[in-house]
Amino acid sequence: MTTQVSNHLYTLHRTPFALAPVIQSFYQHWEPVEKDILLSYLILPLVTYKPMHAFLKGARGDSSVRTMASDASRLIGLAMRVEEFKPITNAAFLILTAEKSLEITPALSVRSIKKPQTVNSDKTLLKYSQKLAMVLSGENVVQIYRMLGLKSL
Protein backbone atom coordinates (compact mmCIF):
# COMPACT_ATOMS: atom_id res chain seq x y z
CA MET A 1 0.00 0.00 0.00
CA THR A 2 2.81 2.41 0.84
CA THR A 3 4.51 1.94 -2.52
CA GLN A 4 1.27 2.76 -4.31
CA VAL A 5 0.96 6.02 -2.38
CA SER A 6 4.54 6.99 -3.15
CA ASN A 7 4.04 6.08 -6.82
CA HIS A 8 0.96 8.29 -6.97
CA LEU A 9 2.80 11.19 -5.34
CA TYR A 10 5.69 10.73 -7.75
CA THR A 11 3.26 10.78 -10.69
CA LEU A 12 1.56 13.95 -9.43
CA HIS A 13 4.88 15.79 -9.07
CA ARG A 14 6.21 14.54 -12.41
CA THR A 15 3.14 15.15 -14.54
CA PRO A 16 3.80 16.76 -17.94
CA PHE A 17 1.04 19.30 -17.24
CA ALA A 18 2.96 20.67 -14.24
CA LEU A 19 6.40 20.45 -15.87
CA ALA A 20 5.51 21.85 -19.32
CA PRO A 21 5.59 25.46 -18.05
CA VAL A 22 9.11 24.82 -16.70
CA ILE A 23 10.27 23.91 -20.20
CA GLN A 24 8.42 26.87 -21.70
CA SER A 25 9.93 29.22 -19.10
CA PHE A 26 13.40 28.10 -20.22
CA TYR A 27 12.65 28.86 -23.87
CA GLN A 28 11.01 32.17 -22.99
CA HIS A 29 14.40 33.34 -21.62
CA TRP A 30 16.50 31.60 -24.27
CA GLU A 31 17.76 33.14 -27.50
CA PRO A 32 16.89 30.57 -30.21
CA VAL A 33 19.76 28.80 -31.97
CA GLU A 34 19.76 25.99 -34.47
CA LYS A 35 18.78 22.57 -33.05
CA ASP A 36 18.17 23.93 -29.56
CA ILE A 37 15.23 21.53 -29.24
CA LEU A 38 17.87 19.08 -27.98
CA LEU A 39 18.31 21.26 -24.88
CA SER A 40 14.74 20.48 -23.84
CA TYR A 41 15.91 17.03 -22.72
CA LEU A 42 18.35 18.65 -20.28
CA ILE A 43 15.98 21.14 -18.62
CA LEU A 44 13.97 18.85 -16.34
CA PRO A 45 16.87 16.57 -15.31
CA LEU A 46 18.92 19.62 -14.33
CA VAL A 47 16.33 21.84 -12.62
CA THR A 48 14.69 19.03 -10.62
CA TYR A 49 17.97 17.67 -9.25
CA LYS A 50 18.44 18.92 -5.66
CA PRO A 51 22.27 19.24 -5.74
CA MET A 52 21.88 21.59 -8.73
CA HIS A 53 19.50 23.93 -6.89
CA ALA A 54 22.20 25.74 -4.89
CA PHE A 55 24.13 26.53 -8.08
CA LEU A 56 21.06 27.68 -10.01
CA LYS A 57 19.84 29.79 -7.10
CA GLY A 58 23.12 31.69 -7.04
CA ALA A 59 23.71 31.77 -10.81
CA ARG A 60 24.66 35.18 -12.17
CA GLY A 61 25.27 36.66 -15.60
CA ASP A 62 28.87 35.45 -15.59
CA SER A 63 27.93 31.85 -14.70
CA SER A 64 28.51 29.34 -17.48
CA VAL A 65 28.32 25.66 -18.28
CA ARG A 66 31.94 25.38 -17.20
CA THR A 67 31.20 26.73 -13.73
CA MET A 68 28.13 24.50 -13.51
CA ALA A 69 30.15 21.42 -14.49
CA SER A 70 33.08 22.31 -12.22
CA ASP A 71 31.43 20.43 -9.34
CA ALA A 72 30.94 16.83 -10.47
CA SER A 73 28.35 16.15 -7.76
CA ARG A 74 25.87 18.30 -9.72
CA LEU A 75 26.09 16.04 -12.76
CA ILE A 76 26.11 12.59 -11.15
CA GLY A 77 23.55 10.38 -12.88
CA LEU A 78 22.63 13.02 -15.47
CA ALA A 79 22.49 10.53 -18.35
CA MET A 80 20.15 8.30 -16.35
CA ARG A 81 17.91 11.25 -15.41
CA VAL A 82 17.79 12.39 -19.05
CA GLU A 83 16.47 8.94 -19.99
CA GLU A 84 13.99 9.00 -17.11
CA PHE A 85 12.58 12.40 -18.10
CA LYS A 86 12.47 11.76 -21.87
CA PRO A 87 8.83 10.60 -21.96
CA ILE A 88 7.75 13.47 -19.70
CA THR A 89 9.62 15.99 -21.88
CA ASN A 90 8.02 14.57 -25.04
CA ALA A 91 4.55 14.72 -23.47
CA ALA A 92 5.20 18.28 -22.26
CA PHE A 93 6.19 19.29 -25.80
CA LEU A 94 2.98 17.79 -27.17
CA ILE A 95 0.98 19.77 -24.61
CA LEU A 96 2.84 23.03 -25.34
CA THR A 97 2.53 22.70 -29.11
CA ALA A 98 -1.15 21.71 -28.87
CA GLU A 99 -1.96 24.82 -26.85
CA LYS A 100 0.22 26.86 -29.24
CA SER A 101 2.57 28.03 -26.50
CA LEU A 102 5.72 26.95 -28.35
CA GLU A 103 6.72 26.87 -31.98
CA ILE A 104 9.32 24.53 -33.44
CA THR A 105 11.02 26.06 -36.47
CA PRO A 106 12.35 24.12 -39.50
CA ALA A 107 15.88 24.64 -38.07
CA LEU A 108 14.71 22.67 -34.98
CA SER A 109 14.88 25.67 -32.73
CA VAL A 110 12.15 26.40 -30.22
CA ARG A 111 10.43 29.73 -29.78
CA SER A 112 8.07 30.60 -26.94
CA ILE A 113 4.94 32.29 -28.29
CA LYS A 114 3.11 33.23 -25.10
CA LYS A 115 3.69 33.37 -21.35
CA PRO A 116 3.71 30.04 -19.49
CA GLN A 117 0.63 29.04 -17.53
CA THR A 118 2.20 28.81 -14.10
CA VAL A 119 -0.83 27.94 -12.00
CA ASN A 120 0.07 24.25 -11.50
CA SER A 121 3.85 24.65 -11.58
CA ASP A 122 6.45 24.86 -8.88
CA LYS A 123 7.59 28.49 -8.79
CA THR A 124 11.15 27.59 -7.81
CA LEU A 125 11.50 25.23 -10.79
CA LEU A 126 10.29 28.02 -13.07
CA LYS A 127 12.92 30.34 -11.64
CA TYR A 128 15.63 27.69 -11.95
CA SER A 129 14.74 27.06 -15.59
CA GLN A 130 15.15 30.78 -16.31
CA LYS A 131 18.53 30.71 -14.58
CA LEU A 132 19.50 27.61 -16.57
CA ALA A 133 18.73 29.48 -19.80
CA MET A 134 21.05 32.25 -18.65
CA VAL A 135 23.82 29.77 -17.76
CA LEU A 136 23.61 27.88 -21.06
CA SER A 137 23.35 31.00 -23.25
CA GLY A 138 26.17 31.70 -25.65
CA GLU A 139 27.12 28.04 -26.02
CA ASN A 140 26.68 25.67 -28.91
CA VAL A 141 24.22 22.81 -28.26
CA VAL A 142 26.85 20.17 -29.07
CA GLN A 143 29.37 21.86 -26.76
CA ILE A 144 26.81 21.89 -23.93
CA TYR A 145 26.27 18.16 -24.28
CA ARG A 146 30.04 17.56 -24.34
CA MET A 147 30.71 19.72 -21.28
CA LEU A 148 27.99 17.90 -19.37
CA GLY A 149 29.52 14.53 -20.30
CA LEU A 150 26.61 13.33 -22.43
CA LYS A 151 27.60 11.38 -25.49
CA SER A 152 24.17 10.79 -26.98
CA LEU A 153 20.51 11.50 -26.48
Banded model confidence at residue 11, pLDDT cuts 50, 70, 90: low
Q: Give backbone dihedrals phi and psi of 146, rounded to 5 degrees, phi first.
A: -65, -45
First vs last Cα of the chain: how many Å apart? 35
pLDDT beyond 90 at 80? yes
Distance from chain centroid for Cα 106: 21
Q: Which residue has the higher pLDDT, 24 or 118?
A: 24
108: left (phi over 0), alpha (psi -120 to 50) or beta: left
Q: Which residue has the higher pLDDT, 10 or 101?
A: 101
Model pTM? 0.87
**pLDDT tens for residues 35-70?**
999 999 999 999 999 999 999 999 988 888 999 999
Distance CA 114, CA 116 (A): 6
Q: What average pLDDT does the structure give for the chain?
A: 87
Determine the pLDDT at residue 13. 60
Distance CA 16, CA 20 (A): 6
Banded model confidence at residue 119, pLDDT cuts 50, 70, 90: confident
